[in-house]
Structure 1
Amino acid sequence: MRAITYSTFGSADVLELSDQPDPHIGPDTLLVRVRAASVNPVDWKIRQGYLEGLIDTTFPAIPGWDVAGVVEQVGLDTPEFQVGDEVYGYVRKDTVQGGTFAELVAAPVRTLARKPASLSFEEAAAVPLAGLTAYQAIRRAGVTEGQTVLVHAAAGGVGAFAVQLAKALGARVIGTASEGNHEFLRALGAEPVTYGDGLADRVRSVAPDGVDVALDFAGGEAVATSAEVLADGGTIASITDATARTEHGGHYLWVRPSTADLDALTALFDAGKLSVEVAQVFDLADAAEAHRANETGHTRGKVVVRV
């Protein structure tokens, strides 16, 4: 099969298109014919070696955790799926090696769900990691109807899902973003505020009683700022800063693969309550350019690779 691989940590220049053996599948694993994959910041952070010690990498490594495709072969004990099923998933394994930037991927059944019928393969591939991160953060923080929720980096891949999910629960949403993304956030149902110096004052101006939940998808000073504007009894959840838990009694989380959670997202997509924005689509051979595009940090929506 054709796959994108790298054999040393480094810039996007280390990525190359190569021929690799077809993956082997175990009893609880499916062989998926990849139709599309997407780039997440964690992909290039792993490629650059930033997460060594947290996640092991075996060379040559095939990057990518997000996938949308078609089941090509089933394992001995995978009654949930049949050959020909259209699926999507967050195919994170214990080590980085056999990822989704390839024509075929061996995907544990626990990482997959049926693809939303309302989404193309490219759109579906943009969902799993970002969508699950938002869904699990909102659930962990206990967002409920009537609450005021502050979403940091609300126009980003994770943040845009969090805005929509919180709105679907009946919450009021305030989202931080650059001014160029304010109309986008309004279209999603959020009240935009500009990030940067003075953010706490701008949040207080629209929520003088404070926010009930703050969701940090940005890093930097987001947790500290959230603590300044949090209402009594409020909760902070962060995917970037452990002090949300250790100093503020909130939550620090790493997204988990979950078929049940993907099924919940699928239902929202197919009911028209959730949408996904694809910023750019690249061919597999141009995966290095896809990584570079994501590394800029300026794309609105997801960067996708078509296989």
Structure 2
Amino acid sequence: MSTSKKLLEARHWVATSWGSPEAWEFTDVSLPPPTAGEVTIRVRAAGVNPADAKHVAAARSDSALPVPIGYEVSGEIIAIGPDTRIGSGTASEGDEVVAFRVRGGYATALTVPAEKVFAKPSTLSHPEAANLLLVGTTAAEMLAVTGATPGETILLHGASGAVGVSVLQQARLRGIRVIGTASENRFDEVTRFGGIPVRYGTGLADRVREVAAGPISAALDAVGTDEAVDVSLALVSAPRRIVTIAAPGRAAAAGFLAIAGSLPASARFRDEVRRELIALAQNGDLVVPLAQTFPLEGAQDAHRLLATGHPGGKLALIPEVSRSREVRS
């Protein structure tokens, strides 16, 4: 496709005011041809993550309205800027790719920095691939910052959630034993990915001690409850080996770690680990349990389900192919 004199009409979700997804708008956008260092992707699936809503829930000094929504997608390249290579090397129009840490993924098409684009693992469907990297890089960073090593036993709060399931898989590959909290109706999911499930609630610390039969070397908190923090502090002797992605206030007060993709150190780590995670997925060593897909127009419905805290797996938005079309500029 020649990109010299054509625009691409697309549709995308934007936050035109700070607040909940209920205020988002589904609008038209015209994409200019990609310049050097950019590619345009026809979106086949957009990953749905809590961060998509959190980052526009309140006014931010680093963002100006309107804010395009969505941080990761899977799709196919439809235009490449001159002299441009993607993050995984050379690419051609029609190649299937994933893109992570982008802006505006809830769209029928988008133009992104080529360095953020990688060949899609052929082992994953588009909805699965669109949900690989945000949770995968978060899980990888949690294991890295706590220094979890083969043979150790660690405690994972929220083991059956999206980040938790990725932690379980990555830990199992490294020979790390994981005790994971979950509701009893999610025990099978924890066991499926190599974890030892324990029920959260009153008496959690004692149940963990009984199952562990030895020291808990580190604790990873993906839920942010006071119980998760208190039990972690009670069971792990070194606060530097406790990390949270959901309770930064408690972390600051108690002196343990909090990570987030918006922090420079976290962003650098997550960018560096992308290739490794994509390779694991390509080899079949990292899977993405998918709960449900929604049409792109149903982004608000997807977030209503996500807000329940129990989606049962990842969610993805699926655009209609016909919603993106070329027009003469």
Of residues 145-154 and 208-217 in structure 1, the stretch that sits farther from structure 2 once superposed is: 208-217
The count of corresponding residues between Structure 1 and Structure 2 is: 299
Name structure 1 gaps, 5 residues minimum. Answer: 93-97
In 1, the alpha carbon distance for the partners of 2:230 and 2:306 equals 26
**Aligned to 1:91, which of 92, 101, 120?**
101
When residues 233 and 55 of structure 1 are mapped into structure 2, their CA distance, relative to the original with a 3 A threshold, is closer
One-letter amino acid matched to 2:48: V
Aligned to 1:33: 42
Mapped partners of 1:12, 1:121: distance in 2: 24
Instruction: Give the deviation of 1:84 after TM superposition.
Output: 2.5
On the 8 A contact 2:48/2:302 being kept in 1, the answer is yes
Shift of 1:217: 0.9
Are positions 1:154 and 2:163 aligned together? no
Specify the structure having the higher radius of gyration (Cα).
Answer: 2
Any conservation in 1 of the 2:145–2:241 contact (CA below 8 Å)? no
| 1:260-297 CA-partner distances (Å, limit 9, x unpaired) | 42221122122222211111100111111111111111
Amino acid at match of 1:230: V
Question: Deviation at 1:139?
Answer: 1.9
| Residue equivalent to 1:105 | 110
**Of 200, 205, 214, which aligns to 1:209?**
214
Return the letter of the residue paired with 2:63.
D
How far 1:106 sits from its partner (Å)?
A: 2.1
Deviates more, 1:102-111 or 1:211-220: 102-111
Greater than 6 Å deviation, 4+ residue runs: none
1:145-193 CA-to-partner distances (Å, cap 9, x unmatched) read: 1011111111111111001101110011100111110111111110001
For 1:287-306, list aligned pairs within 5 A.
287-306=299-318
Q: Does 1:277 align with 2:289?
A: yes
Match of 2:12 in 1: 3
Determine if contact 1:214/1:226 at 8 Å carries over to the other structure: yes
What is the TM-score when the length of structure 1 is the normalising length?
Answer: 0.89
Which residue of structure 2 aligns with residue 266 of structure 1? 278
Write the deviation string for residues 174-225 of structure 1: whole angstroms up to 9, x where unpaired. Answer: 0011111011111111000111232212211212433112111111222332
Structure 2 CA distance, aligned partners of 1:202 and 1:298? Answer: 23
Per the normalisation by structure 2, the TM-score is: 0.83
Partner secondary structure for residue 154 of structure 1: coil
Contact kept in structure 2, 1:74 and 1:81, CA below 8 Å? no
Corresponding residue number in structure 1 for 2:60? 53
**1:12-39 Cα deviation digits (max 9, x unpaired):** 3323332112156443332211110011
Query: CA offset at residue 77 of structure 1?
Result: 5.0
Question: Which shifted more, 259-268 or 217-226?
Answer: 259-268
Q: Which amino acid aligns with 1:303?
A: L
What is the one-letter code of the residue matched to 1:68?
Answer: S
What amino acid sits opposite 2:314 in the alignment? K
Q: Does the Cα contact within 8 Å between 2:33 and 2:79 map onto a contact in 1?
A: no
Identity across aligned pairs (percent)?
35
Cα separation, partners in 2 of 1:211 and 1:248, compared to 1, 3 Å? farther
Please tell me whether the aligned partners of residues 191 and 197 of structure 2 are also in contact (alpha carbons under 8 angstroms).
Answer: yes
Question: Aligned to 1:89, what secondary structure does the other structure show?
Answer: strand
State the Cα distance separating 1:141 from its structure 2 match: 1.9
Equivalent of residue 252 in structure 1, options 255, 258, 265? 258
Deviation at 1:117, TM superposition (A): 1.0
2:78 to 72, 82, 86: 72
Mapped partners of 1:177, 1:54: distance in 2: 36
TM-superposed deviation, 1:113: 1.9
SS of aligned partner of 2:70: coil
Map of 2:24 onto structure 1: 15
